[in-house]
Structure 1
Amino acid sequence: MSRFRTTILRAPLILCLALPGLAQAATYCVRNHTELQQALTAAAASPGDDEIRIREGVYTTFNGTFTYTAQTTGWLFIVGGYYTVDGNDCAQMRMDASRTILDGAGQNQVLRITLLPPAGTTTSARLGVMNLSIANGYGDSATFVRGGGVDMSSFSDGYTELWLENVIVAASKGYFGGGANLYAKNGLARIANSLFDDNQAPTTAYGHASITVVSTLENLAHPVVIANSSFVRGRCAGNGTRGCGVGVGLPAGVHLDVLNSLFFDNAISDLNIEGMANIGLGNGSASADSSLIGTLSGNLPLTATRALAGDPAFVDATNGNFRLRNDSPFINQALATIPYYPLSMLDLDAKLRTRFDAMDPGPYENQTWDILFVDGFDD
C-alpha cells in the first residue's frame, strides 16, 4: 500500500482533450490518465510553447510511464491544481501540490520528459513541472532507469532550463536518483519550494535526486539551484562514499547554489558533490547559504554561509509532516532576499513565503508561532 497521502505561458488555445497529432502551441486541460498522455504526446509534436493543466485528482500510470519525447524545442509547463468553475474546466488553479497526484503504483516510472532535437540545435527551451505530487514511482535498477519519480533530460545543444517547483516527490525508487533525475547537456537545473521524502536508490546512491549540468551559458551565476526545499528520509545501498540524499555533477564553469534548504535523516550522506575532471570536463564549484546539510560527500568542497545545525524540530517527521514546529530553532533563519530569478512568493501550503520580512528554510513557512513584543505583551 502507498505510504504517500494525500510567468504562465502565452497560450492561445485551451483544449479539454488533447487531440492526437495536433501540432500547434496550446494549453491542454486534462481530467484522466488517458488525456494526460494524449496531451504530452501532442505537446511533444508542437514546435511552440505548451502548457498542460492537470485537474486535481489522482493519475495512475496504468499503461506505463507518462512520457514526453520531443525533437522540437518549444517550452513545456506541466502544472497541477486546476479545477472547474461554472462549468469551465481548468478555469482556476489552487496552490496545493498534494491535491494533484501522479502515481506510479510502485510499478512504473511516473513521468519521463526528454528533449532530443537534432545536433546543432541552438534554440532555447524551458521544461517545468509544477504544483503537483509524484509518488510511488519505480525505476528498474536492472535496466538503469534513473529518476523513478521523474526524469527530466535535455540532450539539446541549445540552452535548456529544467524546473521542478512546488512539487512533492515521495516514496519513489530508481537507479541513481530514486525521486528525480535532472540532466541538461547545456542549460540550468533547479529544484525550488519542494519536498522530497522517503525516496530510495536500492542498488546505488542518491535516493532523492541526481542532477547533472554538463555545460551552461558563459557567466551564468546560478546554473544549478536548490532553494527553499527539504530532502528527508532518503535511503539507498550506497556507492562508495556516495550517499542517499542528492548527488550533483559539476563540470568547470558550473556552480551549485543551495539556499534555505533542509537535508535531514538521509542515510550515508545528505549531499554528494562531484567534479567532472575525471572525464575531461574539469571541476565546478558549490556554495550553500542558510541550509542544513549534515553530511557532505564527493570530491568538491562546499562553501557554507550561515550554516544551520541540529534538529529542525519538524511537526511529525515519523508521519511525514515536515513543517517546522513553533519551537523550531530554524524559524526565521532563512535568507529572505532571494538572489535568484523568480521564486514563488508562496510556500508549499500556499501561505506567504515570508513573515515580518523573515523566511523559514524548507518548503513550508511557519505562520502560527507567537510573537513576544519587547514590552512583554503577546501579539
Structure 2
Amino acid sequence: MTLLAWWPGVEAALYCVDSAETMRQAINGAKASPGADEIRMKSGIYGPPIVSGPDAQYDLTLASGNDLTISGGWSGANCTAQTNDAALTLMDGNQQDRIFDIGVSGGSFGVTIRISNLMLFQGRDVGNVGGCMRIQGYQGVGANVYLERLIFAECTAGQRGGALAVITQSGHLQIKGNRFVFNTANSESAAYLNNVSGNTYFINNSVIGNTTLSPVWPALTTACNLIDYCLVANNVFWNNVDANGANRDASLVGGQSLHNNRLDAYSGVPTSAANNISADPGYHSFNDFDVHADSPLRNAGRSDFPFVSPPSLDLKGVARPGGAAIDIGAQEFNEPEGPLFANQFE
C-alpha cells in the first residue's frame, strides 16, 4: 500500500493499493481517519484477504465528515492513471463473504460515499442483506451514496438484495450505469434500496438474469416516500425470475417516476410512467451484453431529468451518448473491431 497524501489539517488520506492485503490496510486507515479518504485500486484481481472483518471482507463505519471514495482501474507506481473499464478490477468474494459492509453512525448526515469502476464477484452473506455490498445508516441517520460503473455478478444474500442493499434515512442515493447479473437472494435478487427521506435515482443500469428464491419477489425494490423525488429510468430489466419462473423485475414503493426502461413486469403504481418497452433487448447472447446495431435499446433513453444527469461513460469507458440519445442500460452501443473472445462479464 502507498499512502500518497496526508492532509493533517483536515485529517484526510489518499491511498494506492494493488492487493487484497493492501486494500485491507487502506480500509483500516480509513477507519482510523476522521477526515475524507480516497482509495485507488490498481487493475487486477483482489481475492479474499487473509483476515476479513466480522461482517465482510472490508468493513468500516463512517462518522460525520468521514467521506469515502473507492475506485478501480488505476495504474502507475502511484495510481496516477485510470482506465474506466469496470471489468479490469475484480474483487472476488469466493462465495465466502460479503465484500463491502459500510455503516454510517449517528449524527453523520454529511457523509458521502462514492464507489466506482469495480467488478464485485461472488460475494455472499447467507443470513442478511446485500450479498456483495451493504451500506446502512444506523440509528436513524443517512448518507449521500453514489455508485457508478460497477458490475455485481453471482452475488448471494440470504434475505434481501442479492448483490446490493442500501438502507439510509436521508441524503441522495444515485445508482447509475451498473450491471447486476446472475445474482440470487430470497427476495430482491439484484438490489434493495430503501431511502426513507431523500431523492433516489436508479438510472442506466442493466439488471439481467437474477433469481429470487421465493415467489412474487422482484429483482429490484426501490422504497421511497411520497415527498421526495424517486426516479427509475433508462434501465434494462431482462430475464429476472422468481421461484416459480415468473418474470419479476421491479417493485416500486412510494412515489416514483418510471421512464424509458426495458422491462417485463413490475408492481406498484408510479406517479408518472412513459416510454417503457418490453421488446427483446437485442444482445449478442445471454452472456454477451454488446447489442446489435438494430437493438431497440439504442438511442431510446432520456437525459432531461430534474436534479440528475445520466452517466457520461458506460461500463467499458465509452462516452455517452454515442448517438442521437443515450442508450438504455449500462452499456452504450460501440461497434467493436472484432475481439476473438467474449467474456460473459464484459
The question of a shared fold, defined as TM-score above 0.5 by the shorter chain, is answered with yes
How far 1:311 sits from its partner (Å)? 0.4
Amino acid at match of 1:312: P
The answer to whether the Cα contact below 8 Å between 1:193 and 1:344 also exists between their aligned partners in 2 is: yes
Any stretches of 5+ residues in structure 1 without a counterpart? 1-13, 217-222, 275-283, 370-379
Greater CA drift, 35-44 or 157-166: 157-166
* 2:285 corresponding residue in structure 1: 316
Does residue 250 of structure 2 align to residue 271 of structure 1? yes
How far 1:286 sits from its partner (Å)? 0.9
Q: Which of 77, 80, 83 in structure 1 is aligned with 2:72?
A: 80
- What TM-score do the two structures reach when normalised by structure 2? 0.87
Structure 1 residues 330 and 71, CA gap change in structure 2 (3 angstroms): closer
* 1:172 corresponding residue in structure 2: 155
Over the residues paired in the alignment, what is the CA RMSD in angstroms? 2.2
* 2:344 corresponding residue in structure 1: none
Amino acid at match of 2:133: V
SS in 2 for 1:344: coil
Rg larger for: 1
* 1:251 corresponding residue in structure 2: 225
* 1:15 corresponding residue in structure 2: 3
How far 1:303 sits from its partner (Å)? 2.8
Any stretches of 5+ residues in structure 2 without a counterpart? 243-247, 337-346
Amino acid at match of 2:188: Y
Q: Which of 179, 189, 204 in structure 2 is aligned with 1:207?
A: 189
* 1:126 corresponding residue in structure 2: 112
The answer to whether the Cα contact below 8 Å between 1:336 and 1:354 also exists between their aligned partners in 2 is: no
1:24-61 Cα distance to aligned partner (Å, 9 max, x none): 20111111111111111211222221111011111122
How far 1:256 sits from its partner (Å)? 2.2
* 2:330 corresponding residue in structure 1: 363
Amino acid at match of 1:197: V
Amino acid at match of 1:214: V
SS in 1 for 2:172: strand
* 2:58 corresponding residue in structure 1: 66
1:185-230 Cα distance to aligned partner (Å, 9 max, x none): 11222210111100000xx2111000001123xxxxxx11111111
SS in 1 for 2:79: strand
SS in 1 for 2:27: helix
The answer to whether the Cα contact below 8 Å between 1:205 and 1:237 also exists between their aligned partners in 2 is: yes
Amino acid at match of 2:90: I
The answer to whether the Cα contact below 8 Å between 1:114 and 1:154 also exists between their aligned partners in 2 is: yes
1:117-157 Cα distance to aligned partner (Å, 9 max, x none): 3xxx26512111101110101111xx3x2111111112375
Amino acid at match of 2:280: D
Q: Which of 272, 276, 281 in structure 2 is aligned with 1:307?
A: 276
Q: Which of 137, 142, 146 in structure 1 is aligned with 2:123?
A: 137
* 1:91 corresponding residue in structure 2: 80
- Cα distance in 1 for partners of 2:139, 2:84 equals 31
How far 1:300 sits from its partner (Å)? 4.2
- What TM-score do the two structures reach when normalised by structure 1? 0.79
How far 1:313 sits from its partner (Å)? 0.8
* 2:217 corresponding residue in structure 1: 242
